[in-house]
Structure 1
Amino acid sequence: MSQETRTMATPLVRGMGSFFKNCRCTRQNRCAHPYVVRYRDGTGRQREETGFTTQQDALDRLTKVYNEKRRTPERQAASQREIGRHRFGPYAASWLARQRHYTSGSVRTVNQVLKSQVLPVLESRRVNTFTSTVIDDFIMSMEERSVGLGAQQNAYDTLKKILLDAYRRGGIAEDPFVGVVSPEYIPRKITIPTLDEIRALKEEGSEELRLVIDLMHGCGLRNGEAYAANLERLVADDVYRITEQIDGRTRRTARLKHRKPGEFRESPLPATVRDSVLTFAENKGVEENGYLIRTQRSLHWGHSTMQYQWWSARKKAGITRKLNPYSLRHFFASNCLSKGVPITDVAEWMGHSNINMTFRIYRHLMPASVGRAARLLNEGL
């Protein structure tokens, strides 16, 4: 904006800011152009806002900002300014260290997303300089690098968690995600094993693999949760309580994904799965603490053990489709939804932190809701 098109800013009380118009009109108090306000926010960064119809509107906005700053204790304001001056890289590291509810697997995943997608672009940027334009540019940079939509969504979600944390703590004055359109990840078509394929895998697999398969396709457990199979978790004839998982790399017990230490969830326990657990316990024995599955070296199962046994059983069974252990969870979801179980319940049993994830992945498995609704409504009419 050239100097000729900007009117003299009207100064107010020290620290309050000023207002002006960006126009050449001779009688600006009567022209239709909006007023612009300029002020420094709580982090000390100079800001401008436009769109104020009258002087009073501009004054009201400046007064509100000024009063908010006056109500903020100096120590708190200094802390907010300090947060805002951090570079994104160190702030992201400190944020991740504060996520005590994250499992070790989740920490590894977030670190991988940061290192591969976010930090190469944003590591040196100061936290208080993030705006919606910066976020949009970051998304565009991923598109230019032909980053897959799934990776884009993960990077965006991780960045959003970190920056909204900084925003809540006062390091960023305005929500930088207002107006930003996030990458839309549409999951690939999932592969659901047939019941015959599951039976063939169980027929060719070890007793341990058969138990893992039953817990995953019958109760919806994740791999690591099935590795932690425990006789004490049969809290009722038809309920299995999931309290922990086995970290696939360290082979040690860990808290559940999306749960705080000590939290648990419960899943329906079909009679066939209950019989499978009890039969395994009778044949193989139970450890003093109730655990069932161990390797020959008396270790918990890990991902390498599962992968070897899974591919071996798949080869022996002659299964050529690209099934992986996670396909068993898809079978559980499909089985529930095809029987009319509400998707909200399915999300809870599977341990999803956000039902939107369940909808994104499994919405197409639900019975045709419009046609079904029409038939039900017709019956009522």
Structure 2
Amino acid sequence: MAQRSLPRGMGSFFKECGHPQSRWPKCLHPYKIRYQSEAGRQAEESGFADQDAAIDRLTDIYKEKKAAKQAQPKAERIRKYGTMRFADYAEEWRAGQRHLAVQSVRHLDSLLEHHIYPALGSRRMNSFDHKVVDAFIRTMERNGTGLATQSNAFDKLRAILLDAHRLGIFPDNPVAGVKAPQYDPARAVIPSPEQLRAIRTAGDDAFTVIVDLMSGCGLRNGEAAAVNLSNIVADDVYRVSEQVVMSTGQYGPLKHRKAGEYRDVPLPARVGETIEWYVEKYGTTDGYLLRQPTDPTKPYKHYAMDNQWRRIRASGAVDVPEDMVLYGNRHFFASNCLAQGIPITDVAEWMGHKNIDVTFKIYRHLMPGSISSAAQLLNVGLAA
């Protein structure tokens, strides 16, 4: 009997009619759910009209069990979780991260599997303190782990340990006082306006559209590949609502967002003109500008823009900054915003960063001004 399982600890749903899963949405037979009760016994419920109703019920049960777990006396929680292996605790924590998009879950799994579990997976939860966390960071440094990966791994470890801290496993915050890994701002290589003008026309017409959307609207590579005429919601506003997911080659939700969530970004007139020019020349497919040249029914592939970028760099025909990657066109957007005095809070929102700390880490050095210039500006408003 086929069944669909939710993340670990939440249970599964199925039908007993014998139809394949592909037929379930059209089949009139009710869904059933299976889960473990608080007593650890397998339980089933039936009569759910559709998949969403079954999932909602499993989610409610999971929340009830989690609430019951957190309501246990502190001493009991410490006994239960204090001696638990970190990997086991982390798996329970991961099951509760239902708000994460598919790509974010894959990223989390990669960090756990390749960086966190090898170093800390077998360690007992009650043995963590700031020294253990600091040693983990130093190990990543010795192994030559990239700064971005170091920072992401630390963020995930901190989230898991803070969850345990709220349960009372640690008397003190185990990450308090730990110096987090820092991104190197020099890694954000940004083209000059003159270089950008040459780069945008160095590839084919689709490449021009992608570069303009990244440098003019702050879109990520995959978001630019999913550009759709219907997402122009005002003359100067573009609604970013999906991306071409690199791992699947299909349209999917935005990074750090659920399906249906979006962000609105400025649409400069020059970028709007590029979109109109491309649509007039090539038309659209269901509103999408960019599709696979050999099969217009499929989304534009990441490798198409990556291959062009490699050829452009290798040709030497265009002045490309040393070590600049395709993502540097998006960095140009942030740099341009900050140079024009646009608040970094707005820049963070338009770029779709999960929190403003990411924006500060990467672009703080680009923010104009200094203490001296601030003193001069503030002086204007003071009484003589």
Aligned mate of 1:259, from 251, 257, 260: 257
Aligned mate of 1:293, from 290, 293, 300: 290
Partners of 2:225 and 2:290 within 8 A in 1:
yes
Q: In terms of mean alpha carbon deviation, does 138-147 or 295-304 score higher?
A: 138-147
Instruction: Give the SS at the match of 1:188.
Output: helix
- 1:142-161 equivalences under 5 Å are 142-161=140-159
1:202 alignment partner in structure 2: 200
Instruction: Please give the alpha-carbon distance, in whole angstroms, between the structure 2 residues aligned to 1:149 and 1:201.
Output: 28
1:371 alignment partner in structure 2: 372
Shift of 1:146: 4.9
Instruction: Please give the alpha-carbon distance, in whole angstroms, between the structure 2 residues aligned to 1:309 and 1:86.
Output: 50
Give the number of the structure whose alpha-carbon radius of gyration is greater. 1
Q: In terms of mean alpha carbon deviation, does 141-150 or 99-108 score higher?
A: 141-150
Shift of 1:79: 6.3
Question: Over aligned residue pairs, what C-alpha RMSD do you find?
Answer: 2.6
Q: Does 1:93 align with 2:103?
A: no
Q: In terms of mean alpha carbon deviation, does 100-109 or 155-164 score higher?
A: 100-109
- Deviation readout 1:90-117 (Å, 9 max, x if unpaired): 3333433432333333233323322332
Identity between Structure 1 and Structure 2 (%): 47
Shift of 1:202: 2.7
Instruction: Give the SS at the match of 1:179.
Output: coil
- Relative distance call for 1:295 and 1:133 in structure 2 (3 A) is same
- Deviation readout 1:249-277 (Å, 9 max, x if unpaired): 21112211222332211111001111111
1:119 alignment partner in structure 2: 117
- Relative distance call for 1:366 and 1:74 in structure 2 (3 A) is closer
Partners of 1:204 and 1:313 within 8 A in 2:
yes
Instruction: Give the SS at the match of 2:179.
Output: coil
Partners of 1:248 and 1:301 within 8 A in 2:
no
Q: Report the AA paired with residue 207 of structure 1.
A: D
- 1:209-248 equivalences under 5 Å are 209-248=207-246
Shift of 1:129: 3.1
Q: In terms of mean alpha carbon deviation, does 222-231 or 73-82 score higher?
A: 73-82
Instruction: Please give the alpha-carbon distance, in whole angstroms, between the structure 2 residues aligned to 1:372 and 1:73.
Output: 54
Aligned mate of 1:277, from 260, 275, 295: 275
Instruction: Give the SS at the match of 1:204.
Output: coil
Instruction: Give the SS at the match of 1:157.
Output: helix
- Relative distance call for 1:310 and 1:185 in structure 2 (3 A) is closer
- Relative distance call for 1:185 and 1:231 in structure 2 (3 A) is closer
Instruction: Please give the alpha-carbon distance, in whole angstroms, between the structure 2 residues aligned to 1:233 and 1:83.
Output: 48
Instruction: Give the SS at the match of 1:135.
Output: helix
* TM-score normalised by the chain length of structure 1: 0.73
- Relative distance call for 1:291 and 1:176 in structure 2 (3 A) is same
- 1:1-381 equivalences under 5 Å are 74=72, 81-169=79-167, 172=170, 174-288=172-286, 290-296=287-293, 297-298=295-296, 299-316=298-315, 317-321=317-321, 322-380=323-381, 381=384
Structure 2 unpaired stretches of 5+:
1-69
Instruction: Please give the alpha-carbon distance, in whole angstroms, between the structure 1 residues aligned to 2:233 and 2:148.
Output: 37
Partners of 1:241 and 1:264 within 8 A in 2:
yes
Q: Report the AA paired with residue 306 of structure 2.
A: Q
Instruction: Please give the alpha-carbon distance, in whole angstroms, between the structure 2 residues aligned to 1:124 and 1:368.
Output: 48
Shift of 1:176: 1.8
* TM-score normalised by the chain length of structure 2: 0.72
Shift of 1:235: 0.4
Partners of 1:101 and 1:261 within 8 A in 2:
no
